[in-house]
Amino acid sequence: MDHIFPIVHVAGIRFDLATLTMIILTSIIVFVLAKLAVRNLSVTNPTKLQNFLEWVIEFVQNIIGTSMDLKKGRPYLMLGITLIMYIFVGDMLGLPIGIVTEAHHGASIFGMTLDLGGEEEAHIAWWKSPTADIGVTGALTIIVILLTHIEGLRLNTKHYLKHYIEPHWGFLPLALIKEVSKPLSLALRLYGNIFAGEVMIGVILQLGIWGTPALVVWQGFSVFIGAIQAFVFCMLTMVYMSQAIVHEEHGEH
């Protein structure tokens, strides 16, 4: 909590420059990874990167297969792969590096003044995971939830609209609460895990040299948590998608 993030106000909107640069960096890394993996594609003699990407694709196919029929789920394979790769790279990015600069009141970058929260001078952190910002996780969640609603309306209209009042219209408030809590929990879960991990890294760093074993243990744990959260986000996406588009399976009503 010693350091703050470079916040600028442009046209009344609050922008976090560290998050913006890290979003772009993560996108570039995932894109370069994917591009390099499909160079010299070969069935009989795959390169290591092609092998790795094929493993990722099969992994996501497995995730889709556990929640819905693969024929119905085929269109969402790319969504799942993008989500899991982006979130995983984003989670890992904030762990090894930290860039902190000092700034005084009135400091500005590219002509925009930094918001130091009223202090005279502050330490500004420029490198963090993009998913450690509620804006990024919220955006990913909005994309996913909007997709589930749109696909549910498009592919499964009658059942999708009816499931709010099945099995009894008295369940409507609960169904509405579910529609609110799904996006909230999806966004806050990823945000909380990664943000808390980074704050802990900052706290452990304050111990100086004596914090090294604790830092090693915590970094290892953070890698584990980052991977699990990427997997859970992708899996919950597929579960919500299957709940929206596959409703005829329940034959009891």
Partner 1 sequence: MGALALVAAAIVFGLGALGAGIGNGLIVGRTVEGISRQPELRGTLQTTMFIGVALVEALPVIALVLAFIFYGEA
Q: Which residues bind partner 1 (CB under 8 A)?
A: 1, 185, 188-189, 191-193, 195-196, 199, 228-229, 231-232, 235
Distance CA 196, CA 165 (A): 39
Nearer to partner 1 by Cβ, of 164 and 231: the residue is: 231
Phi, psi of 112 (to 5 degrees): -105, 130
Q: CB-wise, 112 or 188, nearer to partner 1?
A: 188
What is the spatial distance between Cα 231 and Cα 241, in angstroms, rounded to a whole number?
15
- Which DSSP letter does residue 141 get? H
Pairing of strands 100-104, 112-113: unpaired
Give me the least distance between CB of 136 and partner 1, in Å please. Answer: 15
Closest CB 242 distance from partner 1, rounded Å? 15
Name which of 139 and 232 has its Cβ closer to partner 1: 232
As measured in angstroms, the least distance from the Cβ of 186 to partner 1 is 9
User: Min. distance of Cβ 61 from partner 1 in angstroms?
Assistant: 15
Q: Are 192 and 46 in contact (CB under 8 A)?
A: no
75 or 220: CB nearest partner 1 = 220
**Integer Cα distance of 60 and 65 in angstroms:** 8
